[in-house]
Structure 1
Amino acid sequence: MTTIIDSAVEKSAASPEALLKAAVSGAKPAESKAAAPVPTAARAVRRFDAVTMGLAGAALAVGTVLGAGTAILATPRPQGTAVVLAEINAALEANRLEASRLAIASDRLDKSVAALKDAADAARSEAKARSAALTEKVGKTESALVAKIAALGERIEQAEKEQGARLAAAAAQAEKRTVASAAPPAPVAKPEPVQTGSIPDAKPKPAVIESWAVRDVYDGTAMLEDRRRRLVEVAIGDAIPGVGRVEAVERRGREWVVVTRQGLVTPQPW
């Protein structure tokens, strides 16, 4: 009878594993579905002992598990930490080197930009100076050219005026000569030859050149005309085409004559 009661008590009591699970999770141990009869004093003592032993075993198991976990978590890992620190230091060093390289490159770039700016300013200043000098030189050249052109125009105008005056004077003299030659000459009594003995004339009378005629004389210069109505101005030392060098321009009586070695050029009525 006692054996049967003990077996029933053990079956109704919770196992140590169940008690451990209940202690960890905080749940109460499962109770027997069948209603147990009212225990006696001995049965109660045995049941209390079994429960106490189960709780002690559960507490021991929990302490073991917690101690093992704490030991595992508290175990240092020097090798892994050194590797991580080494990698971090290497990354920081690489970043420092890259930052230094970027700073050097930025400094060089700033110097290059400053040098280019100085060169551009110098080139701009030189271009302005050259442009100003060129503009001034062109202005002076234009002024000198305008002055030369104006002076040349005045000279040409003066020469045209002088030439026009000479031609007008020559035309007036020619017209006067033409009018004078158209009038019949007054008869001139020839003097009687005087016998002077057998002495001949010392100088023969020079020949008259018929191909040229004197139309006017002014300031020692004679205006000559040929039969083709061509006018030529000659002075002492000049050459008459087809005749020769002029030796003198003289007034003989009422007429002007041009003396050459071949003869005299006189006013002609044609």
Structure 2
Amino acid sequence: MNQAPTDQALTKLVLDASIAAARVILDVYSRPIAAVEKADGSPVTEADAAAEAVILDWLRPTGIPVLGEESVAASIIPELGDRYFVVDPLDGTKEFIKRNGEFTVNIALVEHGVPVLGVVLAPVTGETFIGDATGAWFCNTLDGIGSDRRSISVASAIRLRIVASRSHGHVALASLCETLNVEADVSVGSSLKFCLLARGDAQLYPRFTPTSEWDTAAGQAVLEAAGGAVVTLDGARMTYGKHDLGFLNPYFVAASSMELAQRAAGEMVKLLD
């Protein structure tokens, strides 16, 4: 097995893999889209499988195991160990089918249960968010390389902005908004929710409905690199590698600070009692 590249080289490799997957996705997006239902009732298109195949090809030379959404659906789960990639080749398939542009390619590197590197790329706009040990930044990848690169970080606010829809969220969401003095919701599809927090456009993302590890790992890496936090309802940092639970996440809250995340988690627990 080859030695893994250095961190900076690994970040570039993950970014390049995401750009390559985006090209495949946009090719499918330009044609009539046929979707079928997976066993869990969620939709899947030819773009999901094609994009994951491209990503796997890019990541294979590292020798690092890959937990991929479509591979898991096909019951292909490698021995993961302490260091592995987590891939959602097309996060927001429903948004893809609706053609609203709010879908992403998500690739993360997890070490010892936490995401330490993440790329979230929106193929239609080219908006790309990256987080690793050096911090978090934004660039546009429509040019195929990533131009207009700039550093991003979380921003606090007295009146919070939330990335969750009051009208389509959990019944407890309206109560949470009231308790935490939420000014407005700025909901978007897919893991772009984490990225809006990372860029300072919002402060809170409470999640009262199920997600899988590939839905959140890259977004969590970006947000934490930007200074934010993602915790489960017990107030602890959300971790990865829950093979025994089918890689499902518990309810969680992402926020612009650990203090806000833990406060919101406490309120969510009260609302769910």
Q: What interval of TM-score do these two structures reach, taking the shorter chain for normalisation?
A: under 0.3
Q: Which has the larger radius of gyration?
A: 1
How high is the TM-score relative to the length of structure 2? 0.20
Larger RCO, structure (CA 8 Å, separation 6 or more): 2
- Structure with higher helix content: 1
